[in-house]
Structure 1
Amino acid sequence: MRVCLLVVLSVSYCASKVYVDKIDRYIISCHTTDFECFKRQYKALRDNVLLGNDRIGIPTYEHYVFAYGGGTCVKLTGLEESELAGIKLESEPKKLTLVLELPLRIQQVKDTIKVCARPDREFNFIQPQKNPLMRFTGNATIGITYPYKLKKKKGLIYMQLEDENLDVILDIPDLSHFHLNSEVEAKLYEWSEWAYEVVQHVDAAEYFALPYTTQLRTLMEHLPLYRFIMLYPDEEYHDLHFSFSEATVVTNP
């Protein structure tokens, strides 16, 4: 029995070391006073980890695509271009808050690629299909608050992120002031009204944002906190707190 236990521990240690070795190149460590560094850190994680990385076991983020009608679906995209607009770390209670800002692309697509999810609220009436397919780009702000615990493993501190709270604001501008006798402005108005109506049928927090934000929880389970946050000599992880923001909204805890 003792021999088997030693083998299991050895395999676990090797697997963890391989994980760290593979992901180490994507991590930027930041001091608690450097917001620009945190923005670079997020971008590196977004591009190399949070959108998926098969080499380290992070699943690929799938765009949310839901059924619309007439053989079409609606696809929501934009997280692949998201930027860190705010970060806040609190020690009492322990919470990590991130604010992301991104272009929200709402696009009607043919349903030939994959089976589309059913919307939360079914569409009662779908206008006859027109060409080209409808599309609109607005903006979105996503506030993510992770309660966390600090865990010590083999002398290193890890941040264990718990289930996140999400605030998702979809900004689709009201273009009713556009001149409808202008072909371009009339088309933009039509698309914006369509986009606004479409997003009323889905829970963007659960289906658009959550599959992406959970990726960070998976990542933080495997890497010690010092790989993300560097301390000054007078700082300790257990009472660390800082806050930076460029966001236009305040998130709810």
Structure 2
Amino acid sequence: MPRFALKVDYHGAPFAGWQRQADQPSVQGAIEAALARLEPGPHTIAAAGRTDAGVHARGQVAHADLSRDWDSFRLSEALNYHLKPQPVAITACARVEDDWHARFSATWRQYLFRIVSRRAPLVHDAGLAWQVKQPLDAGAMQAGARHLLGRHDFTTFRAALCQAKSPVKTLDRLDVEEIASPDQTEIRLHVRARSFLHNQVRSFAGTLERVGSGAWAPDDVKAALEACDRTRCGPVAPPQGLYLVGVGYPSDPFDRSTT
């Protein structure tokens, strides 16, 4: 059965998360239903990461096994037709080797978290960012973020229901970007690692927001990390600010120059 890699964008608001659920809409379920319109099912697809309810994606990657050896462009066009009007789009599609796996072949994942500091209600970014009303100090947030880089026991930033075998992870990147405009200031957190614990990025975001607001000092992040105690974490930021924006592989399946 030919295997195809799919790059997927979605708005997470209407979904109970990526993973298929019996009684709630999911991104996985939407794509599998579209595949069933093209070939008799059932279909089971695998993804690089299982995003939670309300979390968005600009670069999720999944794979599907089909009986027909589709032209990649025509497959993506057909899927997008059958996905309408749901906020899910296949932005790239490629034939891959039979042993290629969207999750297990991945070498890194990258997330974006958006925080908007603004008094007035969000209009264009409603549902697409976490709004806070107080000003945030991006420099202090970056100073706090530096304590999280590298290999650590991230128990403090791990959800109680996390199913990972170990809380030890290696954080490769955590950059704080500030984008100022006359009406608001946006803080973007760019986070990369091979893998993440459940709610790890949202826990980082909530903790660093406390630093940016002045409620925490940057060194308080270090103390919280070293405590290995979930109660020492800052608040968990809401899901609408979080995006899965990229997944890395030893060879990019969507790069035509390598195929």
TM-score range, shorter chain: under 0.3
Who wins on radius of gyration, i.e. which is larger?
Answer: 1
TM-score, normalised with respect to structure 2: 0.23
